[in-house]
Structures are given as structure tokens and as C-alpha cells.
Amino acid sequence: SANGDWTALAKKAGVEEDELTRFLEYAAMFLGNNGNYKSFGDSKFIPRCSEKTVAALASTSPEANKFYEATKGGIFSSSNPAMMHLGYPDDGHMTTYYPESSHITKDEIKAVSDWMESKGLLPENNRLRKTSEGNYEILIASAVREIPSEGGDIGKQTEFTVDDGPLKSKTIKLVYGDYAEEMKNITAFIDGAAENAENDTQKKMHEAYSKSFESGSLEAFKDSQRYWIKDKGPMVESNIGFIETYRDPAGIRGEWEGFASMVNLERTRAFGELVKNAPKLIPLLPWGSEFEKDKFLSPDFTSLEVLTFAGSGIPAGINIPNYDDIRQTEGFKNVSLGNVLSAKAPDEKIPFIRDEDLEVYKKQRDASFEVQVGLHELTGHGCGKLLQETSPGTYNFDKENPPVSPVDNKPITTWYKPGQTWGSVFGSIAASYEECRAELVAMHLSCEFPVLKIFGFGDGSEDINGEAGDVLFASYLSMARAGLASLEMWDPKSQKWGQAHSQARFSILKCFLEAEDDFCKLDYKQDDLSDLTIKLDRSKILTAGRDAVAKYLQKLHIYKSTADVKTGTDFYVHMTTVDTEFWGKKVRDIVLKNKQPRKVFVQANTSLDEASGKVLIKHYEASLTGMIESWVERNL
């Protein structure tokens, strides 16, 4: 009923201008996060406007009013603290990965996951429902509503009785057709993309996508990713599917996302040079060759200008596919999202940086972030070997003379068993743990001045006081500041982290603070920490700073590589635990007082002029109404 004229609608509804603005802020935030929980933080946000305002606006349209009446409780409710966060149902949190299953427990979710692993059924495109009889239904996203005639990924059977373990005698049923209408529409568009593919590899990729989204097969999806990594250097880059698992409290089920982007050739040249040098850089990491891939598979690494990123949040860089069996033997791709990296709000405040460091920080933070993202994606997520029993009795390492761990100088005693993956073994902690490991790899290798030269800083010789040193200093300072700011994402009531990257960065700040020789300190004189700044000694980055990073990184890597889930989990929990009095109260309070509004991105739309065959692009104003208009014209 607004047709884009929000002022007229407010007048019709009897709503004041400032209340209208608050409503539009909520609407833009909702669209930017694909829902009313933050994509970065997993906590609920509620409108600043009153319920009366939203009711008045909704009443101007019968259809809008119908939807508002159905959802208003969920929009404004904040009386249940647990429901203000995403998480496990038995902790009282919100999730849509376990629909109609408020009575399902963490142990049951784990037991079903273990059963799926034993059968070879991958979890990324499914949800889990517990029935009133106490049995379980695995809901598989597919256009088809019945199992395909040729069978699914584990055969033609759809109903199983569990033989042993905690679910003994329970029934597990595979139910096809979750999001059937959406998957049907997506499949039709993917089929159209296959007909217009630029080359045969792209065509096969789209055909594999189509099979996966039509039938629910994740084996077909893995095939699509195999073709995707073989499609080297396309000028238009895209990927789509159930990719990242951050929002599932169990850390294994994926969130739907897709992007379309164009390659920035100038910036891609630097990343290409980084790829060329990666085989020389990876041996500099603090572990031996036994814990590294047998061969570094040189990936594509491109800098992209994002046209559209459909998902709950837009990352700064991507390293996919996430399937370790593909990554270890076939390869992967890295992308840096250039126009996301450089996006800044006007007049953005920069708390916690000392006055004497502010000029260098402001000048070099974008450059340091690009270096960090490049190393994080390529050498961080791209390095390392999982020591596995790949099939019964077959190992990808010498079991009779097992590798010696550099952490304790003893032969390893744990490894991944057949069917196990990194995600299935480390579970809900895996996402944050891996982000931390990748960040630390980047911090470690950014100390290599030849790397900084690749990005155009310095001549490759060590010079902590030159331009390359400025970039390195800005990188370490940015990480320390991010660690402080991350406390926004820690919830004092549940004492849990709501965001994987934030949890990781907080632990890296702790690593800096625990380094020798006063490498990094929190500086303040006021009791309320209102003057809090980070004092990081630039002259010690290459000594105390790098040493602390190397020790932390080595442990995380070896525990991951050897499937040492007990030691790895205990260690990471220790590094990410927030002392409630100092960090959780005093520091967090000042972080919240200095909190900056989180960006949401207004994205363009494209359309095809059927007569001329030309693709038209429409940009929108970077404003609340521009955000809403862009969504309306997307016709989703």
C-alpha cells in the first residue's frame, strides 16, 4: 500500500516521522540479515518503534495486517532471555534447524549425526525433526517430494530402525521435499544457466547443481564443486548451495547462500602472485611436512566485485568447498570480495586506538585487511592435512611409524576414522576453531616481508619501520582491536559466544596479551575504562608477537590434524573463556558504549532486455528506502 511513498503511508496511518524512521531502520536491518536475528552475532533485534506504530502501518493493508497479526509476538517479544539467541532447543534458544522439536536434546542431535556419519549421509542440506512418538525425521531439501526412483545418496531405503547405541530401536526416516517449491524454482533457473554456460565445465557444474537441488543429493552437490574448482579464471564468478554451517548450533547443517560477481583483474594479479608463492610460505608454518598436504594444489584466487550475495551476511573472503576430501586431493578456490573489504560508513569512529597510532592505522587498515584476508583464505583454510584412516586398514600416513607431534614431541595416537570429517568430530566448536586457526596463519605469515611486497608494500626486505612495517603494525593492531570489539558478541547471561569469528579474535587478543616482554597491553587510568586503549609494541611484532602466535597456532593445528578432539576442545574453550568480572563486565561495558552500527549492504538488481539481449543493471540509493526498494524489485 506504500508504493515507495513512506511519508504518505505514515500520514495515512497517523504515524510520526521519527517513528516511521525507526520502523524503516528495523525493516532494512531485517532484510540485511534475512530475518530478525543478527547474521553476525546470532542475537535477536527488536524495533525501536512502538508496537502501536507497526500495527498502524500494517492496518493500511489487509494483507500486511494478516501477516503482522501472525508474527507480532515474535517481532517484539523479549521476555524470554534464551529466545533472544540462536542455539539448541533444549537450552531454550531459537533455531529452525530442528523444526517442531522443542523437546529434542543435544545428545539426541549428536546421536542422529553419528548415525548419519555411519551411513555416509551428509548433513548440510537437511534439518532434523523429532516426532511426538520419539522417532526422528531427516528433512532433505529437494524439489522432489519422494525419494528419486534411482535412490538417494545412501540407496533406496528411507526408513531405518537403529540397531544399537543411545537411539536403539528408534526409527529414523528420510523425508524428501523440504523447501520443495523453492528448490523447484532454483532448479529451473539453474537449468537455464546450464543452457547458457560459457564452457563445458560450467555446463557440467550447473547440471550437477540441478541434480542436487532436484533430488536432494549432496554427492551431486560435491560434484558441482569439483567442476567449480576446475573452472579456472572465469570473468564472472558464482557459487550457490547450502555452504556455511555457522548458524546450526551443532555446526554441521548448512545455510543457503549464493553469489554472483565480476573479477577485478588488477587486484587479482596480487592474489595470483600469492598463490605462486604459497608452496614457499607454507613450510614456514610451525609444523613439519607430515601435518601438511602431500602436494599444494594451486587454487584460483581472485578479487571479486560482488554484484549480489544472497544470504544472511556477506563475508570479506571465501575459501570453498568445505569438504575436506575434495580440498585435500582435488583443490579449492579462494575469493576476496573487494567491494565488501573496502566498504566503510562515513565518519566511522575508531575507539581503542592510541592517538599516536591513529594515523598509521587509518592509512593502512584497508591494506592490512586485504593482506589478512588473502593469507587467511589461501594459506589459512588452504593449509593442513587431516591424518585419516581413509578406509578400513588404509591410512594416509605411516601408521607403523606415526608422525611425532611438535606440541609434546611424542608419536600421535589419534586420527580420523573412516567416515569421520573435521566437522563431525569437532562439532559445534569446529567453525570458530577453524576461523581462529586461519587467522593465526595469516598473522604468522604477514610477518614475511616478501608477502607484503606482493601486495605492493616495501621491497621484500625486513623493515619494521617502513611502509611494509606500517601495514604489518596495522594488521596486528586491527586484530587486537577486533578482539576487544568481539565482546559485543559474548552473552553474559548464557556466557556463550554468538559468533564464530568474534570468539576466535578474542582468543587471539588473549594470546597477544599473554605474550612475553609486554608485547601487548590494555592501557587505562580510569576505573570505568573510559580511556581504554591498546598498547601494542611495534618493535616486538617479529619477536614476542610472532612467537606467541606460532605457539598458539601450532597447538590448534596439530589437535585438528590428529582429530584430538578432547585436548583441542579443552584448549580452545580455555582460550575463549571470558572472565565475567573484568572482560565480561568492565571491558564489555565500554565496548558496548563505543559500539558502531553494523553495516547492511544495498545490492543492485539486473534484468534481461528480451528484445536486445542486453543485461540491464539498476543501482539503488544507499539508504533505508533504497534497501527496501531493492528487495521489492527483486520479486522474490
CATH number at residue 121: 3.30.70.2600
- Res 351: pLDDT: 96
What does 530-561 look like in DSSP terms, one character per residue?
A: TT-EEEE-GGGIIIIIHHHHHHHHHHHHHHHH
- Res 240: pLDDT: 98
State the first-to-last Cα distance of the chain, in angstroms, to the nearest integer.
18
C-alpha–C-alpha distance, residues 45 and 176, integer Å: 33
Which residue segment(s) compose the domain that 69 sits in?
A: 6-79
70 plus 96 within the same structural domain:
no
Within 10 angstroms of residue 192's Cβ, the number of other Cβ atoms is 11
Q: Is residue 546 part of a domain?
A: yes
Cell matching residue 494: 548464557
Q: Is the pLDDT of residue 347 over 90?
A: no
Section 341-348 average pLDDT: 78
Q: Which residues lie below 8 Å from residue 338, measured CB to CB, with a gap of 6+?
A: 264, 267, 303, 304, 305, 370
- Res 9: pLDDT: 96
Closest CA to 448 of 427, 432, 429, 471: 471
What is the pTM for the complete model shown? Answer: 0.85
Q: Which helix (H) or strand (E) holds 606?
A: strand 605-608
Q: Is residue 170 part of a domain?
A: yes
Give the total number of structural domains in the chain. 3
Q: Is residue 192 part of a domain?
A: no
**Alpha-carbon distance values, 199 to 205, 227, 300 (Å):** 10, 11, 17
- Res 346: pLDDT: 67
54 plus 110 within the same structural domain:
no
Q: Is the dihedral of CA 61, 67, 71, 73 positive or negative?
A: positive
510 plus 585 within the same structural domain:
yes
Q: Is residue 615 part of a domain?
A: no
C-alpha–C-alpha distance, residues 504 and 393, integer Å: 36
Q: Tell me which of 132-141, 179-188, 264-273, 477-486 is least confident.
A: 264-273
Q: Tell me: the pLDDT tens digits for 505-519? A: 999 999 999 999 999
Instruction: For residue 502, report the phi and psi dihedrals to the nearest 5 degrees.
Output: -65, -45
Average pLDDT score over the chain: 96
C-alpha–C-alpha distance, residues 281 and 277, integer Å: 6
Cell matching residue 244: 556455511
Q: Is the pLDDT of residue 185 over 80?
A: yes
268 plus 361 within the same structural domain:
yes
371 plus 442 within the same structural domain:
yes
Cis ω before 321 (30° cut-off from 0): yes
416 plus 473 within the same structural domain:
yes
Positions marked catalytic: 377
Section 451-461 average pLDDT: 97
Q: Do 422 and 429 contact (CB within 8 A), yes or no?
A: no
Q: Is the pLDDT of residue 402 over 70?
A: yes
Cell matching residue 349: 569512529
Q: Is the pLDDT of residue 635 over 90?
A: no
- Res 596: pLDDT: 84
117 is in an annotated binding site: no
Q: Tell me: the pLDDT tens digits for 528-579? A: 999 999 999 999 999 999 999 999 999 999 999 999 999 999 999 999 999 9
Q: Do 89 and 250 contact (CB within 8 A), yes or no?
A: no
420 plus 278 within the same structural domain:
yes
Section 125-153 average pLDDT: 98
Q: Is the pLDDT of residue 4 over 90?
A: no
Q: Is residue 633 part of a domain?
A: no
User: Rg of the chain over CA atoms, in angstroms?
Assistant: 25
Closest CA to 438 of 332, 536, 568, 556: 556
118 plus 74 within the same structural domain:
no
> What is the residue whose three cell numbers read 537403529?
162
C-alpha–C-alpha distance, residues 481 and 349, integer Å: 13
Percent above pLDDT 70 for the chain: 100
> What is the residue whose three cell numbers read 611424542?
410
C-alpha–C-alpha distance, residues 44 and 94, integer Å: 9
136 plus 272 within the same structural domain:
no
Q: Is residue 299 part of a domain?
A: yes
Q: Give 3's pLDDT tier (boundaries 50, 70, 90).
A: confident
Q: Give 343's pLDDT tier (boundaries 50, 70, 90).
A: confident
53 plus 118 within the same structural domain:
no
Q: Which residues lie below 8 Å from residue 307, measured CB to CB, with a gap of 6+?
A: 260, 261, 262, 603, 604, 606, 617
Q: Tell me: the pLDDT tens digits for 253-279? A: 999 999 999 999 988 999 999 999 999
119 plus 264 within the same structural domain:
no
Which residue, 32, 50, 79, sits at the end of a domain? 79
Q: Tell me: the pLDDT tens digits for 94-122? A: 999 999 999 999 999 999 999 999 999 99
Q: Is residue 618 part of a domain?
A: no
Q: Is residue 601 part of a domain?
A: no
Q: Do 571 and 480 contact (CB within 8 A), yes or no?
A: no
Q: Which helix (H) or strand (E) holds 513?
A: helix 500-513
36 plus 101 within the same structural domain:
no
435 is in an annotated binding site: yes
